[in-house]
Amino acid sequence: MHRNRIELCKKHLIFARDVNHFIISSMKRLTVIGIAAIMSVMSLQAQIIEERQQADTSSVKARTAVVEGDRMNQGIPETPLKSLSGQVAGVNVSTDGSERMAMLNSVRVRGTTSITGGNDPLVIIDGISSDLATLSTIFPADIASFTVLKNASETAQYGSRGASGVIVVNTKRGNAQKFSISYDGHFGVESIYKSLQMLGPEEYLSTAGALGLNVKDFGYRTYYPDIVTRPGLVHNHHLAFSGGNETSNYRASIGYADRNNVIKGYGDENLVAKLNINQKAFGDLLSIDFGMFGSSHKIRDLFDYQMMFYSAATQNPTCPTGDAAYENWVKNNTAAYINHPEILLEEKNDEKGLNFNTHLKLGFDFTKDLRLVVFGAYSYSSVENAEFCPTWVWAQGQAFRKEAKTENILGNATLSYRHSWGAHQLKASLLGEYQRVAGSWFQTRVSGFTSNHFHYENIGAATSRPYGETQSFSDNSALASVMSSLSYSYDDRYSVTLTTRADGSSMVGDMHTWGFFPSVSASWNIKNEGFLKDVSAVSQMNINAGYGRSGNLGGISPFSTMELMLPGEVVPYEGSSTITLNRMRNTNPDLEWEMRSTFNVGASMGFWKNRLALTLEYYYSKTTDMLYQYDVPVPPFKYDKLLANIGSMSNSGVETGVIVTPLLKDDMELNISLNLAWQKNRLLSLSGEYRGMQMSAADIVPVGSLIGAGMNGGNNNILYQIVGQPLGVFYLPHCTGLRVDENGNYKYDIKDKNDDGSIDMSDGGDRYIAGQATPKVTLGSNINFRWKDLDVSVQINGAFGHKIYNGTSLAYMNMSNFPDYNVLKEAPARKIVDQNVTDYWLEKGDYVNIDYLTVGYNIPVKARYVSSLRVSASIDNLATITGYSGLTPMINSYVFNRTMGIDDKRSYPVSRTYSLGLSIRF
């Protein structure tokens, strides 16, 4: 281990000790209560599940994972996805590493199931199929519960869309009798606590001088982190009204959130309004549920994360700042990958989004046993993107505008029947559903500005609107489904459920329009057996198992199966330029559903009135007919890729949960919940037959590489997709240590793995599989303590067994680009003049992160109108305990794309958020 890492480790250890001390002392001082959160998983009641699941038996419900409202308002509630993080075993919430402000914007349920697409779980909000983007605009305070469906029998009910898990979100409804008004608000400050330590201006100049390198001293002394960052400011407000009576009630709410993050000028805003009305009519025959919500959000994002943070770290620190940055600064054209960080702040990458959703649900209870639900939903969303690069950054400047709209209409009818006789209970249901999605977009990119004043607001001010940069597009697709379900249970002890769903899609090949997704599950409630009934120590015990198939169409887009001609090349024709129509891809008319088959078996137990609860679950799933862009030979194909259903991939894992309530008194309660998930992914095969031809993808495919000075397209690949391995492994040359060269500089000594006498850095050369990017084990833990009206809650998440490629240190510790690019403080002394990619900078990614610590106080009020008053204080992202030497180990470790597992000069400075919250109920 080299010096800086040791130092950093020491730092972390000290830090860790501090944190432990802090926690321990907090524990001593405080006593608490809480709700056995996982208990709710086990004792989940029917009302928070949609009718669709009501067709399910109560016994399998125990397998679902629910996060309820109480746990959603801890820390500073930014997005509902954050509330989900660490709460459910097997569910990983992360950033996808590329877009949207380092915000949590991706969810993986039990791993990655497809290479091509559709890995985000299906989101169902109040019965409307939706997506993560829409979910992230909903105010956490409006959410009653999250239910994450992971098991075969649950996801199979969502047929072709269920393969990647399902998040069912139920928003809050009006309460039967009570009138209430509530206000929730938070105010917080974000503050950077860790950034890269690069050479300061004086050190920079003296180092260059000592090395005999020419460097320009612009005369300024600049510390870039101070120039591009600021203390962030976050505040949000939420107001809800509800009321009603036995037959009708309503709930209306409005929320506003504003976040100005730690990079100057960047942040986001969100406004949400929501209305729900429930009414009963004709006695109990008809129940009406009407709801609508709309949201409007704005995001001011960085245009190029890497260039911003790469520049802030490595720009010559003597450069002018302020107005002088624009006037007196001359770009060092040798340092092509970076720019003046302050000028980069002038780049714009803005997004405005608008969502409108409405639904109407009519429930007819014909008899006690027979119920018909007719449901219709409409949603509309529009996203506008606007980008601008001023002439200081891009020669001639550039502006981009895009507008995309999606309309989604869904209608379904469910007939359900339930009947009990003696110890027997039977439930059956039949669902018919039809959904149509229409999307369209328009975009244009222009360049050639003579003034930077216009930003993207007047694209007419640009000189050039080149061919191919103005485009529009529209598509539409339809999905029809029929589902039947039958379940039987005997004596509340044994139950079995069978479901079959048939989905028909317009997107698959004509031969495969319909996909069938059956499932079966069974459960045994042991607690109700004679031998356990009277054992009071055991409060709950059951075992269950299930098998089911679900599908995924995420890798296919509309028109994929049709051979189509689209505008392609532009050529001279009769003396003028003319657009031609071309076939731009190989077409596969046989595309079909990706199929995921899952088997799971599990048990849940509660002891001593559930003061100790345990859950254990094993699952194995296999994706077959996996969609992938397979390599095909040219000739006879025109293009080298063909989207086809060939390969397979497996995911398996064990998930455990423990909840202990060691203290449970009137004025004191302590709950500790912990979930651990072991997850194992394996890419089984990417070869098979297509129309009598043996087809395969390369066994070793590079996915992620380093980008930066001297890295252009060489052997700088880091992350690979390798058949027989988990998706996303590091495949690297092995560095045996540093070796001194004739100039006294250090180079990475690369091992000749295949002993052929030469070092081959290319794929398949002297490289080996050095680890995986996805954590093998993840941890989520919540500690909740209440003493009288005071409560403390801590959320701790962790991940283990994975690696991170520290490309940032590889670049910033390398002297070969100095002084065009500044380096880390330790770099001159270490004298590494080498930027070969080796496993030297592959580090363990294990971490434990304290996501938040919240201390709340419910002020006892005796006021006439105020029913409750609560104040809270939180610290988000309190501390990270890790051996990783880079800025933060919390990079994209879950989403399989080019950023996965690679820390490549684009990490946000690490910040904490200190916030205060206020909740009043009237």
Partner 1 sequence: MRKISAISAVCILMLSGCLSEDSRSYLTEEQAFTNSQNLYINSVAFLYGYIGGSSESQGLQGTCRGVYDYNTMTTDEALIPIRGGDWYDGGLWENMYQHKWTEDDATLYQTWKYLYKMVMLCNQSLSDLEKYAHLATVEEIGQWTAEVRAIRALFYFYIMDMFGRVPVVTEVDISVSEVVQSERSEVMRFVYDEMTAVLPYLANQRSNHIGRYYGRITKPVAWFLLAKLALNAEVYADDDWTDGIRPDGKDITFEVDGIEMNAWQTCIEYCDKLHAFGYVLEPIYPDNFLVHNENSLENIFTIPLDNDLYRNQFWYLFRSRHYSHGGALGGASENGTCATLHTMNVYGYGTEEVDARFIYNFYAGEVFVDGNQVLLHTGEPLVYMPMEVKLNLTASPYEKTAGARMAKYEVDRKSYSDGRQPDNDIVLFRYADALLMKAEAQVRNGEDGSEAFNQVRSRVEMPMKEATLENIIDERLLELVWEGWRRNDMIRFGYFHKSYDMRTALPEEANAYTTVFPIPSRAIDLNPAHKQNHGYKD
Contacting partner 1 within 573-612 (CB under 8 A): 573-578, 580-583
Query: Which one among 175, 358, 715, 858 touches partner 1, defined by CB under 8 A?
Result: 715
Shortest gap between Cβ of 574 and partner 1 (angstroms)?
6
**Cβ-proximal residues to 587 (8 Å cutoff; 6+ apart), any chain:** 560, 561, 562, 563, 564
∠ Cα 452 453 454 (to 5°): 95
The residues that bridge with 301 in the sheet, in sequence order, are: 349
Q: By CB under 8 A, which span of 123-131, 474-482, 723-731, 896-904 interacts with partner 1? A: 474-482
Shortest gap between Cβ of 46 and partner 1 (angstroms)?
23
- Residues 736-755, one symbol each (x = binds partner 1 by CB under 8 A, - = not), give -------x------------
> Counting contacts by CB under 8 A, is residue 513 touching partner 1?
yes
Distance separating alpha carbons of residues 642 and 627, to the nearest angstrom: 10
Token pair of 111, please?
A: 């791993």
- Measured from the CB atom, is 502 or 660 closer to partner 1? 502
- Residues 833-852, one symbol each (x = binds partner 1 by CB under 8 A, - = not), give x-x-----------------
- Measured from the CB atom, is 225 or 714 closer to partner 1? 714
Shortest gap between Cβ of 336 and partner 1 (angstroms)?
6
CA of residue 355 relative to chain centroid, distance: 20
The label of the residue with tokens 């300024």 reads 220
Helix (H) or strand (E) holding 118: none
CA distances from 786 to 33, 72, 140, 256, 662 (A): 4, 17, 22, 30, 12
Distance separating alpha carbons of residues 416 and 607, to the nearest angstrom: 35
CB 163 within 8 A of CB 623: yes
Shortest gap between Cβ of 86 and partner 1 (angstroms)?
40
> Counting contacts by CB under 8 A, is residue 698 touching partner 1?
yes
Listing from the earlier edge strand, what are the strands of the sheet with 902-903?
Answer: 842-844, 803-806, 902-903
> Counting contacts by CB under 8 A, is residue 520 touching partner 1?
no
Instruction: Give the binding-site size for partner 1 (rule: CB under 8 A).
Output: 97
Shortest gap between Cβ of 350 and partner 1 (angstroms)?
24
Shortest gap between Cβ of 406 and partner 1 (angstroms)?
15
Query: Which one among 231, 322, 466, 737 touches partner 1, defined by CB under 8 A?
Result: 466
> Counting contacts by CB under 8 A, is residue 761 touching partner 1?
yes
- Measured from the CB atom, is 89 or 483 closer to partner 1? 483
Strand, coil or helix: what is 311? helix
CB neighbour class for 512 (10 Å; exposed up to 12, middle 13-18, buried from 19): middle
> Counting contacts by CB under 8 A, is residue 716 touching partner 1?
yes
Which 315-354 residues touch partner 1, going by CB under 8 A? Answer: 330-334, 336
CA distances from 434 to 126, 288, 463, 507, 595 (A): 17, 21, 47, 14, 21
Token pair of 1, please?
A: 């281990």
Helix (H) or strand (E) holding 737: strand 735-740
Give φ, ψ of 295 to 5 degrees.
-140, 150
- Measured from the CB atom, is 225 or 710 closer to partner 1? 710
Which 118-157 residues touch partner 1, going by CB under 8 A? Answer: none
**Cβ-proximal residues to 725 (8 Å cutoff; 6+ apart), any chain:** 682, 683, 769, 772
Handedness of CA 69, 300, 888, 186 (dihedral sign): negative
> Counting contacts by CB under 8 A, is residue 511 touching partner 1?
no
> Counting contacts by CB under 8 A, is residue 537 touching partner 1?
no
Query: Which one among 177, 712, 736, 868 touches partner 1, defined by CB under 8 A?
Result: 712
Which 615-644 residues touch partner 1, going by CB under 8 A? Answer: 631-640
- Residues 549-568, one symbol each (x = binds partner 1 by CB under 8 A, - = not), give ---------xx--xxxxx-x
- Residues 201-240, one symbol each (x = binds partner 1 by CB under 8 A, - = not), give -------------xxx------------------------
Which 393-452 residues touch partner 1, going by CB under 8 A? Answer: 395-396, 428, 430, 432, 434, 436, 447-448
Shortest gap between Cβ of 370 and partner 1 (angstroms)?
14
Helix (H) or strand (E) holding 183: strand 180-194
Alpha carbon dihedral 156, 160, 164, 166, in 10-degree steps, equals -60
Which 785-814 residues touch partner 1, going by CB under 8 A? Answer: 814
- Measured from the CB atom, is 331 or 352 closer to partner 1? 331
Shortest gap between Cβ of 586 and partner 1 (angstroms)?
10
Q: By CB under 8 A, which span of 69-77, 150-158, 708-716, 888-896 interacts with partner 1? A: 708-716
- Residues 167-206, one symbol each (x = binds partner 1 by CB under 8 A, - = not), give ----------------------------------------
The label of the residue with tokens 């993107």 reads 385
Which 490-509 residues touch partner 1, going by CB under 8 A? Answer: 500, 502, 504-507
- Measured from the CB atom, is 532 or 698 closer to partner 1? 698
Q: By CB under 8 A, which span of 101-109, 294-302, 688-696, 798-806 interacts with partner 1? A: 688-696
Q: Which amino acid is at 237?
A: H
* Buried-exposed string 338-354: b where 16+ CB fall within 10 A, e elsewhere: bbbbbbbbbbbbbbebe
CB neighbour class for 742 (10 Å; exposed up to 12, middle 13-18, buried from 19): exposed
